Structure 1
Amino acid sequence: MRFRFVHAADLHLDSPMHGLTARQPELAALFARATREAFEALIDEVLAREAAFLVISGDVYDGDWRDYHTGLFFAGQLARLSRVGIPTFLIQGNHDAESQISRKVTLPPQVHLFGTRKAETLELPELKVALHGRSFAERSMSDNIVRDYPPARPGWFNLGLLHTSLDGRAGHASYAPCTLADLKARNYDYWALGHIHAAEIVATDPHVVFPGNLQGRHVREAGPKGAMLVEVDDGAVVALTPLVLDKARWAHRRLAIGEAATLAEVLARVEPALREESAAAQERPLALRLTLTGETSAHDVLAANGQHLRAEIQAAADRVSERLYVERIELSTSPPRTAPDETLGFADPEGLLAGLEAEPAFEQAFAGIIEEILAKLPDEVRQAVRGEEIGASLVEEARALALARLRRGGSDAGSGEAA
């Protein structure tokens, strides 16, 4: 028997978008709607592909609802499938664990939520599909729950739903940890995993798959996002097709500008790169982080005129598309290597500043500056940004500006920041 199903995870419906609100409210509004629009696109694909069923491997929500609109939207979209007889199977993850969600909305009759007490099996007898899964009761799930999953049903297509960090992935907390060997020991045909926001086919015998999250929410979730279409024939997976469903996109572009000697030459290299990134986003709203790299004689000018640089690059972005926003500009450039200038009174400007940030007095004063910055940010931005990221960025910008002035003999080289 041949059939197909769609595997999605980590919808994070109505999750706030981080890094845009304070600077670009119009674009932030487009991104804010993106999690819902991506889910609508998912339901459209399930219907268009005539999938037999949909599985969602946890984190439908981003936490407790502000009001009932989030739950009503989710139930309403699944009702589109239920009305035509397409079932949905889902588990709760760490963000939408049973203890996290205080409000409830009755889900459509064709929606099946796995319980929290133990792993259980639900069946689709007409397809000979056995689905095994367990929801999180609490946000913190530190146990390896896979070992308690039901045994595979002989002669059936066995599918496991699990929200897990597996054996660890960078940037993700450890939840329901397990190994690939643990999964293979259950003898299932497909493991529909959730929690890791980067799409990954972990194994193919059996298929162990993270589809990634449906919609990127910040620059660390850059690139296309979506779900996985799975083709099954005679009880075996025969094809996997990524479905790109995101409705707004984040990107990080590293651009070498080593041959540029002036700001104008830098900008001449930046605009074509912006056009490439905008084209790759295929008319989606795009928030782009741009990192300039290379050894360039324009380094001092860029470091000393960060606000002008940012304004010019955003103006270039506006020429490319009204849906393109430069989220941050990072300078990873350096000046051309030259012989030390003894006339400055010191031979090594870099050495003069080396290790300054480790000095106790500097650390104490700088910590106070970071706290002051965080206190001025909107709540949703403050919850998303990392103090160490802000600190590292400011230290590097200050170092670049100081070096520029030292190399000019202490003259005033201007001021500004790039990010």
Structure 2
Amino acid sequence: MPSFRFLHAADLHLDSPLRGLDADATAPARRIRQASRDALDRLVGLALAEQVDFVVVAGDLYDGDWQDFRTGQALVAAFARLTRAGIRIVAIRGNHDADSVLTRNLRLPEGATLLSHRKAETLRFEDLGVAFHGQSFAQRAVVENIARDYPAPLPGLFNIGLLHTAAAGHAAHETYAPCSVEQLAGHGYDYWALGHVHERAVLHREPWIVFPGNLQGRHINEPGAKGASLVTVRGGRVADVAHQPLDAVRWARLTVDCSGAADLPAVLDRARDAMGAALDAADGRLLVLRVVLEGACPAHAELSRDRAATRENIRATGLELTEDDLWIEAVRIDTRPALAPEALRSRADAVGKLVGAIEALAAQPDAPLSAAIRDYATEMLNRAPRDALPADHHATLAAGGAIPPELLERARALLLARLAEG
């Protein structure tokens, strides 16, 4: 029975474009732009170091049509490093690859095979006792269950299915090539190499059905370690499936518990400790953080009074740790005043009435603004510089719409904080 090792990767999204980072002068845009290529280089380096027998890539090699041929040339060069070392590659196109006219005409190096988009096909590696079954996307939106038409497993061989799919569905991804775990498990293959979902997930064992996640996180909504799966097969059975982090840039949301913090310096001390631990966990990668300050604390008023100053203080604290390997993408201030709202609501004076009015508005999120509130708010907005507040504040008032719940919560918290100061 066959024994071998291979790497299962997916969703390389080579040269995935930056979105909005160029607008921030502090962003390390060059390193983030280069990250997908650096992660691909790490994949190649791992395959060579581990001397794997082959690499499978389950779709989305690219991120759509290239801006120029350098993107395709980078992939060909990376694959050629593997094939020259005797490591073969089997891949399929995903929905992003199907968008690319240039991808369809790309010639891969000898030893790298891109399975057909016309129908599911089988490729054999007789020397290893392996059969690959898969089908590329012919167009972006493949809404039918193409796995039903995959060939039957070949007896005496280790059968691997390559499929770009959302499986039973995923909130963050289009439901392409839908199928169930039960269907795949019952098809008779030994390993399903899936792609499309950017989070690593093992959907089933024996047979193994695996999403390795994407090779490199592309934005803050793709946090955590990204990479590929190193699969060991002994005697025709999967012995181990190990996640291998390969990302060059690590995205993360970092929650800093500010509960009880007396002032801004106390919050900054906690933020420094939390960021230091996150840097250690990133293991030398560029770490991109969205810092979220949470908890009920006396410092809330100081943090909320000048949110821009708080953000810059957090960023300056990050620079104390490192100038090169940390970028704070955003800072969210979700702290709350330490003063209990129940005590204020029960007061008979204007403070109690104001707290009660805000909470009544929050309890009816879809209720339109009264004319008096709208006129007063419009007057206040007109006194402020036009760009001092988001445009949707003005649009909401102009349309007579409801106050957004998050704005009401900020108003309530700010009120409580100011009262706590006094």
Q: TM-score, normalised by structure 1?
A: 0.86
- Residue 126 of structure 1 corresponds to which residue in structure 2? 127
**Inter-CA distance 368–285: structure 2 relative to 1 (3 Å threshold):** closer
Runs (4+) off by over 4 Å:
359-362, 365-368, 370-373
* Counterpart Cα distance in 2 of 1:308 and 1:87: 54
CA distance in 1, matches of 2:192, 2:251: 28
Change in Cα spacing, 1:368 to 1:301, as seen in structure 2 (3 Å) is closer
Q: CA deviation at 1:352?
A: 5.1
Q: Relative to structure 1, is the Cα distance of residues 368 and 259 closer, same or farther in structure 2, using a 3 angstrom cutoff?
A: closer
Report what 1:202 is aligned to. Answer: 203
Q: 1:400 aligns with which of 400, 410, 413?
A: 410
Which residue matches 1:256?
Answer: 257
Aligned residue in 2 for 1:30: 31
Residues 67-216 of structure 1: pairs in structure 2 closer than 5 A = 67-97=68-98, 99-102=99-102, 104-216=105-217
1:5–1:229 Cα contact (<8 Å) kept: yes
- Cα offset, 1:85, TM superposition: 2.3
Structure 2 vs 1, CA of residues 372 and 200 (structure 1 numbering), >3 Å: closer, same or farther? farther
Deviates most, 32-41 or 284-293: 284-293
In 2, distance between residues paired with 1:342 and 1:257?
31
Moved more, 120-129 or 260-269: 260-269
Q: Report deviation, 1:397.
A: 5.9
Q: Does 1:358 align with 2:366?
A: yes
In structure 2, the CA distance between the partners of 1:27 and 1:407, relative to structure 1 (3 Å rule), is closer
| RMSD after superposition | 2.6
Q: Does 1:344 align with 2:346?
A: no
> How far is the alpha carbon of 1:372 from its aligned partner?
10
User: Percent identity of the aligned residues?
Assistant: 40
d(CA) in 2 for partners of 1:7 and 1:255? 35
Deviation at 1:26, TM superposition (A): 5.1
Tell me the TM-score normalised to structure 2 length. Answer: 0.86
Equivalent in the alignment of 2:226 = 225
What is the Cα deviation at residue 370 of structure 1? 4.5
Deviation readout 1:90-145 (Å, 9 max, x if unpaired): 00111111x53345332101110111111000000011100000000010011111
Classify the secondary structure of the residue corresponding to 1:286.
Answer: strand
Residues 1:186 and 1:95: Cα distance change in structure 2 (over 3 Å): same
Deviations 1:46-93 (A, max 9, x none): 111111111000000011111111001101110111222221100011
Moved more, 154-163 or 398-407: 398-407
| Residue type at the aligned position of 2:391 | I
Q: Secondary structure of 1:251's partner?
A: strand
SS of match in other structure, 2:28: helix
Distance 1:256 1:51 in 2: 44
Shift in Å at residue 21 of structure 1? 2.7
Q: How does 1:315-330 map to 2 (within 5 A)?
A: 315-322=316-323, 323-330=325-332
For 2:410, the aligned partner's letter is: A
Asked if structure 1 preserves the Cα contact closer than 8 Å seen for 2:119 and 2:135, the reply is yes
SS of equivalent residue, structure 1 residue 64: coil
Stretch deviating more after TM superposition (297-306 or 226-235) = 297-306
Q: For 1:331-380, what per-residue CA distance to the aligned partner results, in whole angstroms no more than 9, with x for missing partners? A: 22222215114433515264154267635568xx999924999xxxxxxx
Alignment CA distance shift 1:230-1:343 (3 Å):
same
Corresponding residue SS for 2:310 = helix
Counterpart residue type for residue 369 of structure 1: A
- The size of the alignment, in residue pairs, is 389
